[in-house]
């Protein structure tokens, strides 16, 4: 009798899996590899290396969607971060470092659970012509002010809700994460934006709990206008932690050159205040060129120069180590291929 019940349970499980396989509408494997030759000089110390993620972040992912009927879908997204130059994984200790989510979507929008990008980072990436990647990234001057907040890019254990895409140009996201006892992981944030024609603008705000009891607060707003011959961008970012504050502003542009070329440029400043940090400012200028060989393959070159004042110690790449008050410059030449 026990043997019969065991066989029946196995048969039921197989039938369930078979039914699920039939209901599955799509399973996709995707990825991107980006490798560059990079040279960085910080405080008079130079380092030349084969590097990864100069134009876009390398990734390997698996995505599945199931049609549940009545306009609803279930989805799974698992994405890791390989370092194409060495074959290692990104040294975060997480296999699915970039994203690991399960979701339900429909006319109500999308409910997404798991590790994912957060609302405040979407602005830092979307209104930077270098998309927060490489030696020219505007993200080079972004800081958590020593708070220990681990949520500048992504959030663990997140519950995210996205507005549906048919709201006349409006879009938005709300994300919360309990932190689960890990200092710097408790997060609550939102983003609201409007995109219509050549215009796109968005505002985001978030708070992250820290070990000190003071929340790390981040607010940013961005706008872009695509005139065809050039796309202009502006980004404002404000970080606060206790008595410390840093305000960043960035101006950016991307301009098509011919049928396959794209020039990217940006300039930004970081201005801290509080607790004797007023003199610790920094500024960065970057310019780059992308040449599209095909829909999946591009060549690129980027140069950036960063100047620190006072005790500021920002840099455009690692190695070398940061040096307070020193200049940092970098050049990279690379190739990116997606599949």
Instruction: Give the model's pLDDT for residue 269.
Output: 98
Alpha-carbon dihedral 293, 264, 56, 137, rounded to 10 degrees: 160
* Listed residue (264, 289, 316, 336) closest to 58, CA to CA: 336
Angle at 301 between CA 300 and CA 305, to 5 degrees: 145
**Per-residue confidence (pLDDT) for residue 24, from 0 to 100:** 59
End-to-end CA distance of the chain: 52
27 and 62 Cβ atoms separated by less than 8 Å: yes
Which residues are bridge partners to 189 per DSSP? 175, 206
User: Is the Cα dihedral 35, 36, 42, 45 positive or negative?
Assistant: positive
| Predicted local distance difference test score (pLDDT) of residue 16 | 42
Print burial letters for 77-101: b (CB count within 10 Å at least 16), e (below 16): bbbbbbbbbeeebbeeeeebbbbbb
37-40-46 Cα angle (round to 5): 115
Q: What is the pTM of this model?
A: 0.90
Q: Write out the two tokens for 38.
A: 């990079």
CA–CA distance, 194 with 170 (Å, rounded to integer): 4
Cβ atoms 222, 250 nearer than 8 A = no
Sign of CA dihedral 147, 154, 80, 329: negative
DSSP tag of 139: G
Rounded to 5 degrees, φ, ψ at 117 are: -60, 150
| Alpha helices for the chain (secondary structure H) | 2-23, 119-126
CA dist., res. 261 & res. 291, Å (int): 5
Average pLDDT taken over every residue of the chain: 93
pLDDT of residue 25: 78
**pLDDT digit string (tens) for 255-278?**
999 999 999 999 999 999 999 999
Question: Are 289 and 258 contacting, i.e. CB atoms less than 8 angstroms apart?
Answer: no
**Residue 139: closest CA among 290, 248, 276, 38:** 248
Between CA 98 and CA 77 the distance in angstroms is 10
- Please list the rounded mean pLDDT of every run of 10 residues in the chain (339 residues): 44 44 77 98 97 97 96 97 93 94 98 98 98 98 98 98 97 97 96 98 98 97 98 98 98 98 98 97 98 98 98 96 97 98
Distance CA 184, CA 145 (A): 12
In sequence order, the β-bridge partners of residue 240 are 217, 245
Q: What angle (nearest 5°) sits at the alpha carbon of residue 117, between those of residues 307 and 184?
A: 75
């Amino acid at each position: 009798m026990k043997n019969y019940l065991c066989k029946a349970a196995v048969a039921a499980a197989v039938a369930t899996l078979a039914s699920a396989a039939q209901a599955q509408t799509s399973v996709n494997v995707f990825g991107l590899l980006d490798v560059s030759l990079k040279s960085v000089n910080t405080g008079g110390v130079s380092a030349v290396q084969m590097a990864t993620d100069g134009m876009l972040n390398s990734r390997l992912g698996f995505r599945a969607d199931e049609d549940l009927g009545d306009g609803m879908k279930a989805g799974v997204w698992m994405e890791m971060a390989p370092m194409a130059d060495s074959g290692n994984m990104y040294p975060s200790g997480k296999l699915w470092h970039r994203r690991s989510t399960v979701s339900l979507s429909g006319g109500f929008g999308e409910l997404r659970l798991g590790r994912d990008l957060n609302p405040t980072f979407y602005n830092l990436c979307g209104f930077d012509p270098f998309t927060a990647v490489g030696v020219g990234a505007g993200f080079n001057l972004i800081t958590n002010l020593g708070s220990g907040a681990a949520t500048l890019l992504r959030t663990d254990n997140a519950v995210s809700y996205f507005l549906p895409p048919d709201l006349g140009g409006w879009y938005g996201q709300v994300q919360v994460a309990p932190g689960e006892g890990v200092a710097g992981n408790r997060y609550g944030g939102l983003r609201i934006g409007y995109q219509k024609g050549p215009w796109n603008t968005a505002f985001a705000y978030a708070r992250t709990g820290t070990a000190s009891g003071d929340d790390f607060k981040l607010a940013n707003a961005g706008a872009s206008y695509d005139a065809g011959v050039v796309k202009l961008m502006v980004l404002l970012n404000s970080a606060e932690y206790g008595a410390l504050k840093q305000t960043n502003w960035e101006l950016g542009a991307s301009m098509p050159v011919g049928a396959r070329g794209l020039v990217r440029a940006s300039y930004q400043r970081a201005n801290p205040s509080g607790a004797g940090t007023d003199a610790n400012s920094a500024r960065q200028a970057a310019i780059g060129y992308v040449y599209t060989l095909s829909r999946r393959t591009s060549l690129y070159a980027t140069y950036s120069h960063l100047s620190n004042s006072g005790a500021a110690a920002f840099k455009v790449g690692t190695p070398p180590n940061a040096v307070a008050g020193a200049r940092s410059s970098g050049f990279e030449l690379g190739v990116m291929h997606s599949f």
